[in-house]
């Protein structure tokens, strides 16, 4: 990046929640952006920089770090609304035959729609866990990476995998699983082609065998070895439902968390999606090891999976972020809804002091950055960090009169997004995604959904 001597953007007149280690907040403050980096953060009015500097008037708004989505399945944007009243295993067996028909174009369309939705709800960085690779599907990972470049979000796609089909005791049908050697070759290729470890990176790869009931122990071990040799992170689903707990007890004579420990899948380079059903020993081991958790409260509620022990994990010092999960189990895929639902679920279990509004915001920002190993780069508003910022409009009739802007954001209805800045670039302004034509994307999504369902009939 070329040297930037002065600010290229000033956002001022707004409340600012930096979510730094000290919890610094300003009731009226400003942030300057220098290229793709945050320059200065302060109270009151910014210094005068002249008329050549772009400016966003944040009067009536709250500025936060951009939200970080730590778990998603973007391709599911074109299979929303199916199996609406089913358990996870029933939902999966309903959808696997449909997902078997996805191809590169369908994934590109689905990812564009899903990423635009995330942008509209304040998300600046997202992961994706893509684990369905039909043999004639084309380059599916390239399709979603192209979509992320188009929409303009910071992207951490996970090269997922399944090698345990129904004929071998797994849950997925045999036609959507891959042989171990194919998975490892494709995983190595994804890292070589796409992974960018630089500070400014807009694209990083992780390896992500799907779940204990869809992959073999060999795939888990070999993927971990490859990831660690290559310096990339590891991700998988874990302890999402009672069904999974019963599967692990029957197959491995242990809990899902114990099974992961046996396979070496624990540590600061690993994060688990869901982790709903954990005992005290698992909570302690996850916290002590630095293993990350992607808490997906809306999806867990939609599938009736249970309420995760988020407050216990946070109290134990675990690394916890939030995720929307796949759009087929969270049709809204609204990132700003996740901290609110995380707070409500925690309080439903443990009372009003279980999770504060500021902790909920931290889970959605710096917590997610820690899960992805990027907390020195994103997740808080501090000089030198990357300029990933969300400006929320809080002077609407729905929010006027709520004195605490953090409470208004987390407990109130989802506010309009005045602006979303990703890597110093404006992606959303006044609630509109500026990088794609959303009506056109919506038409393409509907067409892709109809074509995919027709394939399965």
Kindly report the three-state secondary structure assignment for every residue of 397-454: CCCCCCCCHHHHHHHCCCCCEEEEEECCEEEEECCEECCCCHHHHHHHHHHHHHHHHH
CA 361 to chain centre: 14
pTM of the model: 0.97
Q: How many CB atoms lie within 10 A of CB 136?
A: 6
Residue 435: CA count within 13 A, CB half-sphere: 24
- What's the residue count for the chain? 457
Percent of the chain with pLDDT over 90: 92
84 DSSP 8-state letter: T
Kindly report the three-state secondary structure assignment for every residue of 19-62: CCCCCCEEEEEEEEEECCEEEEEEECCCCCCCCCCEEEECCCEE
Q: Going residue by residue through the chain (457 aa), what tens digit of pLDDT does each one get? A: 445 567 999 999 999 999 999 999 999 999 999 999 999 999 999 998 877 799 999 999 999 999 999 999 999 999 999 999 998 889 988 999 999 999 999 999 999 999 999 999 999 999 999 999 998 899 999 999 999 999 999 999 999 999 998 899 888 888 889 999 999 999 999 999 999 999 999 999 999 999 998 999 999 999 999 999 999 999 999 999 998 999 999 999 999 999 999 999 999 999 999 999 999 999 999 999 999 999 999 999 999 999 999 999 999 999 999 999 999 999 999 999 999 999 999 999 999 999 999 999 999 999 999 999 999 999 999 999 999 999 999 999 999 999 999 999 999 999 999 999 999 999 999 999 999 999 999 999 999 999 999 998 8
Q: How many CB atoms lie within 10 A of CB 344?
A: 17
Q: How many CB atoms lie within 10 A of CB 209?
A: 32
Rounded CA-CA distance 172/92 in Å is: 8
Contact indicator for 281, 56 with CB cutoff of 8 Å: no
Fold of 9-65+381-433: Urease, subunit C; domain 1 (2.30.40)
| Residues of each domain in the chain carrying CATH 3.20.20.140 | 67-371
Alpha helices (runs of H) in 290-388, residue ranges in sequence order? 297-302, 310-315, 337-350, 357-362, 368-371
Rounded CA-CA distance 202/403 in Å is: 36
Q: What contacts 24+ positions apart, CB below 8 Å, involve 139-142? A: 139/104, 140/75, 140/102, 140/103, 140/104, 140/107, 141/190, 141/194, 142/104
CA 373 to chain centre: 13
Contact indicator for 325, 299 with CB cutoff of 8 Å: yes
Strands 319-322 and 389-393: unpaired
Tell whether the torsion through CA atoms of 379, 383, 386 and 387 is positive or negative.
positive
Q: How far is CA 318 from CA 171, 349, 363, 411, in A?
A: 30, 19, 11, 24
Contact indicator for 391, 445 with CB cutoff of 8 Å: no
pLDDT, tens only, 66-91: 999 999 999 999 999 999 999 888 99
Fold of 67-371: TIM Barrel (3.20.20)
| Residues of each domain in the chain carrying CATH 2.30.40.10 | 9-65+381-433
Provide the terminal-to-terminal Cα distance of the chain, rounded to the nearest Å.
51
Residue 35: CA count within 13 A, CB half-sphere: 10
Question: How does the average pLDDT of the chain come out, rounded?
Answer: 96
């Amino acid at each position: 990046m070329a040297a930037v001597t002065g600010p290229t953007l000033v956002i001022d007149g707004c409340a600012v929640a930096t979510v730094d280690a000290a919890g610094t907040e300003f009731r009226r403050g400003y942030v300057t952006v220098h290229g793709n980096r945050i320059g200065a953060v302060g109270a009151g009015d910014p210094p005068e920089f002249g008329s050549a500097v772009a400016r966003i008037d944040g009067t009536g708004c709250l500025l936060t770090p951009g939200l970080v989505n730590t778990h998603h399945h973007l391709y599911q944007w074109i299979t929303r609304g199916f199996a609406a009243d089913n358990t996870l295993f029933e939902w999966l067996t309903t959808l696997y035959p449909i997902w078997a028909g996805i191809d590169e174009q369908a994934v590109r369309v689905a990812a564009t729609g899903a990423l635009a939705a995330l942008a509209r709800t304040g998300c600046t960085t997202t992961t994706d866990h893509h684990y369905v690779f039909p043999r004639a599907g084309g380059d599916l990972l390239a399709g979603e990476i192209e979509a992320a470049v188009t929409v303009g979000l910071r992207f951490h796609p996970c090269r997922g995998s399944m090698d345990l089909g129904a004929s071998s005791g797994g849950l997925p049908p045999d036609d959507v699983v891959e042989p171990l050697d194919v998975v490892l070759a494709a995983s190595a290729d994804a890292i070589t082609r796409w992974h960018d470890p630089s500070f400014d990176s807009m694209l990083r790869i992780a390896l992500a065998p799907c779940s204990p009931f869809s992959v073999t122990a060999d795939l888990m071990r070999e993927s971990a070895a490859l990831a660690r040799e290559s310096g990339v992170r590891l991700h998988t689903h874990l302890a999402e439902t009672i069904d999974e707990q019963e599967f692990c007890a029957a197959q491995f004579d242990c809990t899902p968390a114990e099974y992961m420990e046996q396979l070496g899948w624990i540590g600061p380079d690993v994060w688990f999606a869901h982790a709903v059903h954990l005992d005290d020993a698992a909570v302690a081991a996850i916290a002590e090891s630095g293993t990350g958790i992607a808490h997906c409260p809306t999806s867990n509620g939609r599938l009736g999976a249970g309420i995760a022990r988020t407050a216990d994990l946070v109290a134990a010092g675990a690394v916890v972020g939030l995720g929307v999960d796949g759009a087929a189990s969270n049709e809204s895929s609204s990132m700003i809804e996740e901290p609110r639902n995380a707070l409500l679920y925690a309080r439903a279990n443990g009372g009003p002091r279980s999770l504060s509004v500021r902790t909920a915001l931290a889970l959605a920002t710096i917590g997610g950055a820690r899960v992805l190993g990027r907390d020195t780069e994103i997740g808080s508003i501090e000089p030198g960090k990357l300029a990933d910022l969300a400006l929320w409009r809080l002077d609407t009739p729905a929010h006027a009169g709520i004195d605490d802007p953090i409470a208004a954001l987390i407990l109130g209805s989802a506010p309009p997004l005045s602006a979303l800045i990703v890597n110093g670039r404006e992606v959303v302004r006044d609630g509109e995604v500026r990088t794609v034509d959303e009506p056109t994307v919506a038409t393409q999504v509907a067409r892709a959904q109809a074509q995919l369902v027709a394939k399965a009939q």
